[in-house]
Amino acid sequence: MIALKPDFCDITLPENYEYGMEDYSSAKAKWCSGCGGHTILNSVQKLCQEEQLAPEKTVFVSGIGCSSRFPHYMKTYGFHGLHGRAFPVACGVKFRRPDLNVFVITGDGDCCSIGAGHWVHAIRYNMKMVVLLFDNSIYGLTKKQTSPTSPLGTRSNTHPTGSVLPPISPVQATLGLPNVSFVAQTVDWKAAHLHATIRKAYEHPGLAFVRIVQRCPVWMRDDYEPTVKDPEAITLMHHENGIALDEKGMKKFRKVIEHDPSDIVKARENAELIKDSTPIGLFYQNHAASRYDQYGAHNLGISTEDRIDAINELMDRYVI
Amino acid sequence: MANPTDSAVSSVKSDPKPKQVKEAIVEIVSDSGEGAQKCGQSLGAISAKMGNGVWTVEIIPAEIQPPARSKAGASGIRVRMGSGPITNMGDQANLVVALNEQVLYGRIDQKAFKPGTYLLIEKKWADNPSEDIRNDYRKSIRKFKQLGYLIHEIPMEEECLKIVNDARKGKNMWVLGLLCHIYDRDLEIASEQIRYVFRKKDQQVIQNNLDLLQAGYDWATRNLDIHYSIPPNPREGDHVVMNGNEALSLGVMAAGIEVCSMYPITPATSATHAMAETMESAGGIIHQAEDEIAAIGFAIGASYAGKTAVTITSGPGIALKTEFIGLAVMAEIPLVIVDVQRGGPSTGLPTKVEQGDLLSVLYGAAGDAPKIVIAPATIEECFHYVILARKLAESFRSPVFVLTDANLATGVQPFPRPVIKPDWFAPPLDQSPWKEGLKPYDWDHATGLSKRPIPGQKGGMYTLTGLAHDEDSHVAYDPAINQRAAESRSRKLAALLKTLKKPVVHGDEEGDLLLIGWGSTKGAIEEAVDRARDMGASISSLHLHFLSPLEPGIKEILKKFKKVKTVEINYSDTVGDPLITKENRRYAQLAWYLRAHTLVDIDCFSNVFGQPISPYRILKMLEEEFDMKFTEDI
Higher-pLDDT residue of B459, B33: B459
The string of DSSP codes covering B211-260 is HHHHHHHHHHHHH----EE-PPPPPPS-EEEEEHHHHHHHHHHHTT--EE
* SS3 state at B508: coil
* SS3 state at B262: strand
Looking at residue B617, what is its pLDDT? 94
* pLDDT band (50, 70, 90) for residue B12: very low
CA distance B160 to chain A (A): 29
Cα separation values, A161 from A157, A158, A164, B401, B559, Å: 9, 9, 9, 48, 67
What is the pLDDT of chain B when averaged over all its residues? 94
CA distance B366 to chain A (A): 13
Residue B363 predicted with pLDDT over 60: yes
Taking only residues 99 to 138 of chain A, the set having a beta carbon closer than 8 angstroms to any beta carbon of chain B reads: 99-100, 117-118, 120-121
Check if the beta carbon of residue B419 is closer than 8 Å to that of residue B238.
no
* pLDDT band (50, 70, 90) for residue B391: very high
Looking at residue B634, what is its pLDDT? 66
* pLDDT band (50, 70, 90) for residue B32: confident
Are B462 and A77 a contacting pair at CB < 8 A? Answer: yes
Q: Which residues of A touch B475 (CB under 8 A)?
A: 72
* SS3 state at B335: strand
Burial class (CB in 10 A: 0-12, 13-18, 19+), B596: exposed
Q: Which residues of A touch B256 (CB under 8 A)?
A: 307
Looking at residue A140, what is its pLDDT? 95
Residue A184 predicted with pLDDT over 80: yes
Looking at residue B233, what is its pLDDT? 86
DSSP-derived letter for residue B122 is E
Q: What ipTM was assigned to the predicted interfaces of this complex?
A: 0.96
**A76 to chain B: closest CA residue:** B461
* pLDDT band (50, 70, 90) for residue B550: very high
DSSP-derived letter for residue B587 is P
- Choosing among 3.40.50.970, 3.40.190.10, 1.10.1200.10, 3.40.50.920, the CATH entry for A21-317 is 3.40.50.970
B187-197 helix and B36-49 helix, angle to the nearest 10 degrees: 130
Average pLDDT over residues B439-444: 98
* pLDDT band (50, 70, 90) for residue B111: confident
Domain ranges of chain A: 21-317
Residue B597 predicted with pLDDT over 50: yes
pLDDT digits (tens, 9 = 90+) for B147-181: 999 999 999 999 999 999 988 888 999 999 999 99
Instruction: Give B79's strand partners.
Output: B26, B56
Average pLDDT over residues B268-280: 96
Which residues lie below 8 Å from residue A90, measured CB to CB, with a gap of 6+? A59, A61, A79, A102, A104, A122, A127, A129, B301
Peptide bond into B345 cis (omega under 30): yes
Q: Which residues of A touch B258 (CB under 8 A)?
A: 96
Looking at residue A4, what is its pLDDT? 44
What domains can you pick out in chain B, each with its CATH number?
Answer: 19-229 (3.40.920.10), 240-424 (3.40.50.970), 430-499 (no CATH), 511-626 (3.40.50.920)
Q: Which residues of B touch A82 (CB under 8 A)?
A: 297, 323-324, 327, 466
CA dist., res. A233 & res. A174, Å (int): 22
CA distance B394 to chain A (A): 17
Are A93 and B280 a contacting pair at CB < 8 A? Answer: no
Looking at residue B3, what is its pLDDT? 40
pLDDT above 70 as % of chain B: 97
Average pLDDT over residues B483-495: 98
pLDDT digits (tens, 9 = 90+) for B213-228: 999 999 999 999 999 9
pLDDT digits (tens, 9 = 90+) for A40-77: 999 999 999 999 999 999 999 999 999 999 999 999 99
* pLDDT band (50, 70, 90) for residue B373: very high
How many C-beta neighbours within 10 Å does residue B459 have? 14
Looking at residue B535, what is its pLDDT? 96
Burial class (CB in 10 A: 0-12, 13-18, 19+), B478: exposed
Average pLDDT over residues B120-131: 96
CA dist., res. B18 & res. B10, Å (int): 18
What is the pLDDT of chain A when averaged over all its residues? 93
Higher-pLDDT residue of A198, B632: A198
CB pairs under 8 A between A and B: 195
Looking at residue B109, what is its pLDDT? 87
Residue A191 predicted with pLDDT over 70: yes
Are B239 and A320 a contacting pair at CB < 8 A? Answer: yes
pLDDT digits (tens, 9 = 90+) for B55-68: 998 887 767 777 88
Residue A7 predicted with pLDDT over 60: no
